[in-house]
Chain A
Amino acid sequence: MSLRSVSVIGIGSTPFARLEGRSLLDLINGACNEAIRDAHISRDQIQSFYLGNYSAGILIGQETLAPKASYGLGLKEIPPTRVEGACASGGIAFRHAYLMIGTGLIDFALVAGGEKMTEATTERSTAALAAAADELENRCGLTYPGAFGIWANRHMHDYGTTRKQLALVSVKNKRNGMRNPRAQLKKEITIDDVLNSRLIADPLRLYDCCPISDGAAALVLCPTAIAKGYAKKPIEIIGSGQALGTINIYEADSLTAFSATIRAAEQAFEMASLTPNDIDVVELHDCFSMAEIIDSEDLGFFEKGKGGPAVEEGLTQVDGKIPVNPSGGLLSKGHPVGATGCGQIYELVKQLREEHENQVPSAEIGLAHNLGGTGSVSTVHILRRKW
């Protein structure tokens, strides 16, 4: 079957930060209202609501979020749907809104991703993080930095990736984030700052890891055919992919690549009839510095094993051959889990509207990559300027 073309006509976002005193529903409400205003629609036009949230149940003791958020937004009796896929929850929510409009069932959808993490007790935070991971690995005492430490040690062994190259990812993204008012960690750091920061899980140090965060981001979608009636600068969704990976480390075929990313990217590039060479700007899932290097290879921007040298050669800087995470990525913005996937689309839309604070020159086609858990599920979206 062929889908109708769908475009993003509105975007909204809270800052990603420790947002003390702001509840999850407050954050979602804020981001959504901004997106609705940006889209120049009335909330009565919204026909479906998708929400990406990872773990409100554990973190803040709340469920049934999509109905609660819809209700709080004053939406009519439309279908409210929450999706969960660990850190890919936001990307999955976006994809489902896209598909719902693409099939012709509805014309206007509101998508949001949100997470409230920083005011949870340590016990709840730990439980929430552990919930996405494999039980056997949890019982070993494995943490997320530990999982990525395992991938890092293998990647360094197989391809000669260096700690300096890992550190350069963090340096680049923190510098990019300095220009992003939505980013949590805005601090110029040096390679030495990274290499001397606290060891978390060998070889990863504090500055190799993204901070936890609160935040929400939202998008309004409609058919491209009517988008110009609402947005001066519609951004068309030309590729979408979603795939299952592996739910633990020991059953993965490779210890240096995420099959979920590779498969989701294949789907998205095929739908768009494009290759990695056609992409002008990328927002990918850099939960850890090592993740950015692996992701950049899995998405096809560099050969497997060449992601580290690519960073060192400056190829992924804002003015480089393939700008990666000009927003600052998760490393600088922070990672309110369910919000991240939608936040990436927000940043890409700003780039393709040529309105980003850290603008990539002449960006016409962008790619967003979202990865959940320890490679469990991934979404990839390709967007194109339609103005």
Chain B
Amino acid sequence: MKVIECAQCHRTFIPPKFTCRACGHTDFQEKEIPEKGKILSFTTIWVAPESFMDQVPYDIVVVELADKLRVTGRLLPIDKKPTIDAPVEFDRKDEKAYWFKLI
């Protein structure tokens, strides 16, 4: 899974970032991290903004990846309710969001 890291202290971030919050550096470079993570929390949206209405209900998850990097993303629709600590795998990133699937 592609993320970015600070060119100075190597802390990882989800782009875009302008200044590294850890050390103040302003240069970043791409980094590949493992695709496995776990769910820290979630919700299921039942009342959505207009452009998302046709997807209702849909799950949003906060996933913790390697080095405690976290991201908010979508869960691939599945007949199982997300639960905290459930293992997930990065599926893809499209122009909308980072997508994960329960494994």
List residues of A whose CB falls within 8 A of some B CB. Answer: 122-123, 126, 130, 134, 136-137, 139-143, 145-147, 149-154, 157, 198-202, 248-251, 255
**Contact, CB under 8 Å: A141 / B49:** yes
**Contact, CB under 8 Å: B47 / A201:** yes
**Contact, CB under 8 Å: B71 / A250:** yes
Q: How many angstroms between the C-alpha atoms of A54 and B55 in the bound complex?
A: 30
**Contact, CB under 8 Å: A141 / B84:** no
**Contact, CB under 8 Å: A201 / B49:** no
- Which residues of B sit under 8 angstroms from A130, Cβ to Cβ? 49
**Contact, CB under 8 Å: B74 / A250:** no
**Contact, CB under 8 Å: B40 / A154:** yes
**Contact, CB under 8 Å: B45 / A141:** yes
| From B14, B52, B62, B97, contact of A249 by CB (8 A) | B62
**Contact, CB under 8 Å: A141 / B48:** yes
Of the A-B pairs whose beta carbons lie under 8 Å apart in the complex, a sample of 28, sorted by A's number, is: A122-B50, A123-B50, A126-B49, A136-B14, A136-B72, A140-B73, A141-B48, A141-B52, A141-B55, A141-B58, A141-B96, A141-B97, A142-B45, A143-B48, A143-B49, A146-B60, A147-B43, A149-B44, A150-B43, A150-B62, A153-B41, A154-B40, A154-B84, A201-B46, A201-B47, A202-B44, A249-B62, A255-B41
**Contact, CB under 8 Å: A141 / B46:** no
Q: How many angstroms between the C-alpha atoms of A256 and B47 in the bound complex?
A: 23
**Contact, CB under 8 Å: B72 / A140:** yes
B interface bracket (residues with beta carbon within 8 Å of A): 20 to 34
**Contact, CB under 8 Å: B43 / A250:** no
Instruction: Quote the shortest CB–CB distance from A255 to chain B (angstroms).
Output: 5
- Which residues of A sit under 8 angstroms from B44, Cβ to Cβ? 149, 201-202
**Contact, CB under 8 Å: B96 / A140:** yes
- Which residues of A sit under 8 angstroms from B14, Cβ to Cβ? 136, 250
**Contact, CB under 8 Å: A251 / B46:** no
Q: How many angstroms between the C-alpha atoms of A130 and B49 in the bound complex?
A: 9
**Contact, CB under 8 Å: A202 / B62:** no
- Which residues of B sit under 8 angstroms from A134, Cβ to Cβ? 72
| From B47, B55, B84, B97, contact of A143 by CB (8 A) | B47
| From B48, B50, B96, contact of A139 by CB (8 A) | B96
Q: How many angstroms between the C-alpha atoms of A122 and B40 in the bound complex?
A: 32
- A149-B43 contact given A140-B97, A143-B49, CB 8 Å threshold: yes
Instruction: Quote the shortest CB–CB distance from A341 to chain B (angstroms).
Output: 26
**Contact, CB under 8 Å: A146 / B43:** yes
- A249-B72 contact given A139-B96, A140-B60, CB 8 Å threshold: yes
**Contact, CB under 8 Å: B40 / A199:** no
- Which residues of A sit under 8 angstroms from B97, Cβ to Cβ? 136, 139-141
- Which residues of B sit under 8 angstroms from A141, Cβ to Cβ? 45, 48-49, 52, 55, 58, 60, 74, 96-97
Q: How many angstroms between the C-alpha atoms of A122 and B53 in the bound complex?
A: 13
Contact with A along B70-86 (1 / 0, CB 8 A): 11111000000000100
Q: How many angstroms between the C-alpha atoms of A122 and B47 in the bound complex?
A: 13
**Contact, CB under 8 Å: B46 / A250:** no
Instruction: Quote the shortest CB–CB distance from A14 to chain B (angstroms).
Output: 28
**Contact, CB under 8 Å: B49 / A250:** no
**Contact, CB under 8 Å: A153 / B43:** yes
| From A199, A200, A250, contact of B70 by CB (8 A) | A250
**Contact, CB under 8 Å: A202 / B52:** no
**Contact, CB under 8 Å: A151 / B41:** yes
Instruction: Quote the shortest CB–CB distance from B91 to chain A (angstroms).
Output: 14
Q: How many angstroms between the C-alpha atoms of A347 and B84 in the bound complex?
A: 39
- Could you list 16 further interchain pairs (A-B, Cβ under 8 angstroms) beyond the known A140-B96, A142-B60, A249-B62? A137-B72, A140-B74, A141-B96, A143-B48, A145-B47, A147-B43, A149-B43, A151-B41, A153-B43, A153-B84, A201-B46, A201-B47, A248-B72, A250-B62, A250-B70, A250-B72
